[in-house]
Amino acid sequence: MSDPANAGAKALFLKAAGIAGDFRARLGEHLHKPSRDYAASLDAFSGELPDFGPPMDEVLEDLAKRAEPGLHLMAGPRFFGWVIGGSHPIGVAADILTSAWSQNAGNHIATPSASAAETIAAGWMLDLLGLPPECSVGFVTGATIANFTCLAAARGAVLREHGWDPDSRGLFGAPPINVLIGDDAHTTVFSALQFLGLGHDRVQRIATDDEGRILREAMQRALETADGPLIVILQAGQINTGACDDFSALVPLAKARGAWVHIDGAFGLWAQASSQRQALTAGVERADSWATDGHKWLQTPYDCGYAIVRDEVAHRRAMTIAASFLPVSEGERDPSHYVPELSRRARGFATWAILRHLGRKGVADLVNRACASAKHIAAIVSKEPGIAVMNEVVLNQVVLRFGADLTADEADALTDRTIAAVQSQGVIFAGGALWHGMRVMRISVTNYQTDADQAGIAGQEIIRAYRAARSSTTD
Ligand SMILES: *Cc1c(COP(=O)(O)O)cnc(C)c1O
């Protein structure tokens, strides 16, 4: 009864592992840019859908050949674009098994192992992040959906306190919710608010300082006039500067007004895992919910994020229907009760494997190494006249502006030319951003392989690109 497809599975998986291993072995040598753009990639993938296609091993080799030229080396040691984790090999290997095991990790009866791995990994994570052990954790696709999940719990809790259950009755006729959020919050938090019917524009944006941190007096004023259901959204790790809000001051202020306090800590919450960085996030554990990513600083493969909620019942009520939000059988976890999906990937295996491999000190080292590398890059480039480091490098993010001695328009243009020069060379990858009205280069050190040597190469490459852009006349 054995299917020929299954008979060939082992050889096929070994072939896939070989291709994957070869790709990873070349990470340090390859250019940090794709050699094929989108249009060329479309050409590479195009073709008629066949009635019956070639054998599996041919398709696999063909896929790799067509895909690899159009890949960015996001797992590479000198990829500094956006905030992108490197998919640690142990996580990838665990993820290969996860795919092969083919578990639909909706509930613990269907897949006891997947539920158990999540339970244990969740406990380890709360410990590492210094969050209350009673929190519930949903393993979601990323921080966007983690923010969504946490804010859904917040929405339900603050409205029920005012006699309205939005999870059963919806929002029409509900008392309006006041949402206070920092002016430099991540765009995906506004997306989450949009999905929740809270609107991305009806929130009250609170003024921030040069680093993107909420100004305490501005928050205090907003809190004084806010009445009714109230959600306050703070941030650990501003996307450009890496700065964290002053949780020790802001969380108690907001809680005193009865607010649900939510933290977007997509990458910055991991400062908690390092004794050298914890001061940045002091007081963060007093909030009500936290969103963070696995696929950024923790280096899990995509897609992986965590929705962490102090009040488990609020968390479950927001994500499940009927009476299933009531704690059922003590100690048995149904993963789907904490996330928007039913059928879902067993994300806990990769998280468990990474935490088990790195351990407490390994995660702290990962965080410290990235922060030290960011500081190293900033130190190298700041010696070059005309390059300005625009942020306090407190975490893993560096914001650079080129032509600090020129007019604002000239500096914008020179910054864009420097970014283009860096990208065309492909020794490193870094992208651009708009920061408080200025064009900047954003460096995010979020890869497990980036160390002092790689940071040194990056610093020199940025200077080289800047000099080339500065001496070129095309502006
Ligand atoms: C990346 C990021 C998000 C969104 O996370 P995804 O994993 O991309 O969904 C939210 N907030 C901050 C601060 C981020 O850096």
pLDDT band at 116 (very low <50, low <70, confident <90, very high): very high
Q: Give residue 262 CA to ligand 1 midpoint distance, Å.
A: 14
- Tens digits of residue pLDDT in 149-162: 999 999 999 999 99
193 belongs to a structural domain: yes
Instruction: Give pLDDT, residue 475.
Output: 47
Instruction: Give pLDDT, residue 335.
Output: 87
* Ligand 1 pocket residue status of 239, Cβ below 6 Å: yes
What domain range includes position 262?
A: 94-355
100 belongs to a structural domain: yes
143 belongs to a structural domain: yes
- Tens digits of residue pLDDT in 36-61: 999 999 999 999 999 999 999 999 99
Least confident of 47-56, 207-216, 465-474: 465-474
Would you say residue 259 has pLDDT above 70? Answer: yes
Residue nearest to atom 2 of ligand 1 (CA): 266
CATH number at residue 254: 3.40.640.10
pTM of the model: 0.96
Pocket test for ligand 1, best of 74, 144, 151, 195 (most atoms within 8 A of CB): 144
141 belongs to a structural domain: yes
Q: Give residue 190 CA to ligand 1 midpoint distance, Å.
A: 11
Residue with the two structure tokens 């259950």: 165
| Rounded mean pLDDT, 351-367 | 98
* Ligand 1 pocket residue status of 144, Cβ below 6 Å: yes
Least confident of 84-93, 315-324, 345-354, 449-458: 315-324
Would you say residue 322 has pLDDT above 50? Answer: yes
46 SS3 class: coil
Rg (CA), the chain: 24
From the alpha carbon of 185, which atom of ligand 1 is closest?
13
* Ligand 1 pocket residue status of 188, Cβ below 6 Å: yes
Helices (H), ranges, 26-111: 38-45, 56-67, 89-101
* Ligand 1 pocket residue status of 84, Cβ below 6 Å: no
| Rounded mean pLDDT, 102-111 | 86
From the alpha carbon of 295, which atom of ligand 1 is closest?
7
- Tens digits of residue pLDDT in 9-22: 999 999 999 999 99
Q: Give residue 405 CA to ligand 1 midpoint distance, Å.
A: 33
Q: How many domains does the chain have?
A: 1
Q: Give residue 9 CA to ligand 1 midpoint distance, Å.
A: 36
| Rounded mean pLDDT, 174-190 | 97
CB of 255 closer than 8 Å to CB of 231 = no
Q: Give residue 11 CA to ligand 1 midpoint distance, Å.
A: 38
369 belongs to a structural domain: no
Q: DSSP labels for 159-210?
A: HHTTT--HHHH-STTPPPPEEEEETT--HHHHHHHHHTTS-SSSSEEEPB-T
396 belongs to a structural domain: no
- The C-alpha atoms of residue 111 and residue 342 are separated, in whole angstroms, by 13
48 SS3 class: coil
Instruction: Give pLDDT, residue 84.
Output: 96
Instruction: Give pLDDT, residue 330.
Output: 60
152 belongs to a structural domain: yes
207 belongs to a structural domain: yes
First to last CA, the chain: 69
Buried b (16+ CB within 10 A) or exposed e, 232-263: bbbbbbbbbbbbbbbbeebbebbeebebbbbb
| Rounded mean pLDDT, 392-412 | 97
